[in-house]
A and B are shown apart, each in its own frame.
Chain A
Amino acid sequence: MIIKILGSGCANCVNLERVTRKAVADLGINAEIEKVTDYGAIAAYGIMSTPGLVVDEEVVLAGRVPTAAKVRELLESLTC
């Protein structure tokens, strides 16, 4: 599973990366976490409010920082 965090490095993006890493660790899944900071690349995913969360090239969340529990729920529903 490849997880991408979209955002230019603002506080929200750092928070999203933190909760995502926590969710991945909690689930014990094998995931690669990448950061996408290039504005053109971010916009190409169709999102306009950062931060965004992309799992296997599909945007699953944009515009707000969810709780780690919510990310875990999302990842769980995508893995099985």
Chain B
Amino acid sequence: MSLAERLHPTTPTRRWVGLGAAALGWLALYEVNAPLWDWVVYDVFGLAPASRLGSGVHFFLEDSIKIAMLLVGVIFAVTVLRSFMSVERTRALLGGKREGAGNVMAAGLGVVTPFCSCSAVPAFIGFVAAGVPLGVTLSFLVASPLVNEVAIGLLFGLFGIGPTLLYVGAGLVIAIVAGFVLGRLRLERWVEPFVFETRLGGQVIDPAAGLSWEDRIQMGVEEVGLILRKIWPYLLVGIALGAAIHGWAPQDFFTRYAGAGNPFAVLIAVLIGIPLYSNAAGIMPLVQALHDKGLPMGTLLAFMMAVVALSLPELILLRRVLKPPLIATFVAITGAGIIAVGYLFNAVLA
């Protein structure tokens, strides 16, 4: 019997009581996590908190559990909330919107619409063939991976509300501006012609229609399993690297090369981040460890955004509908936006 079936409640009351109990259990576990590893690593095994091994091992254990728990909670909540939205509803909302207001709406909807990068191509065709302007469509396609629910949850859990709001705000601005600029450049000639020739037939099926609470909760549970199965290797590598940096890298190693004193730090971080293929969950432990070592938040956010927003596999998918010059322009403008945001944050937060 699967987890989802065992959790299957028989009555609505039981369902809400069960959800409430799960939430309370989650909170309690989350609270004991740090003290538990203090006790195990420092008291039971007698490692010194200041030693390399002690702090590295503690970081690895505490972070693995903490990040796994944050992921479970965030993915579940986000999936249930997002089950009320769908790409089809988003397209209906964007239909007939002009550039400008359309870009703003598309970026916002990109954050809340459930979207898998494997659907990027059919969604692109569906938007453009239905008459949504190219720039507005691109705002959606930038915002969707850039402002990522997993990143929001982890940033909030590890750094608090301030950096989280900065990240969301910056991501939205980049998506709006990049889409607007790309739209103004009139690049329709670099879209594969078959996109405009596609006749949308058939009946539109809205995946968000006719779902019961039961369905939504089950979707949440399934999504948690699905995503964790997909990202756990990235997560473990990220946490291990983070732990190694935490315990072993000399205190001034990173600040000397990539600290506030180096004017090229953001640029280099973004250029390294674009080809690097990972995801928010794998990057965040690294970001946390580097932040502890004194790297400025703007540089780190820019690095993370470059990794999650621009990924080679997604660009290869988009090649099916966009010609290389448009893909290059898309990467250049989004990358430039991320770099600008990194420098801005470093200047504002310093």
Contacts and interface: CB of A to CB of B under 8 A. Distances in A.
A28 interface: no
Interface in A7-52: 7-8, 10-12, 39-40, 42-50, 52
Nearest to B117: A10
A64 B327 CA distance: 28
Contact of B87 (A11, A39, A40, A49): A49
Interface string A50-80: 1010000011111110000000000000000
Interface residues of A, number: 24
Contacts of A63: 86-88, 114, 119, 205, 207
B132 to A, nearest CB: 11
Given A48-B123, A49-B87, A64-B219, A12 B116 contact: yes
A45 B201 contact: yes
Contacts of A59: 202-203, 205
Contact of B119 (A45, A46, A50, A61): A50
Contacts of A48: 87-88, 91, 119, 122-123, 125-127
Nearest to A62: B205
B322 to A, nearest CB: 12
A19 B199 CA distance: 30
A10 B204 CA distance: 22
B118 A39 contact: no
B86 to A, nearest CB: 6
Given A43-B198, A59-B203, 15 more contacts: A8-B118, A8-B317, A39-B321, A43-B200, A44-B199, A44-B201, A47-B126, A47-B204, A49-B86, A50-B122, A52-B205, A60-B205, A63-B87, A63-B114, A64-B219
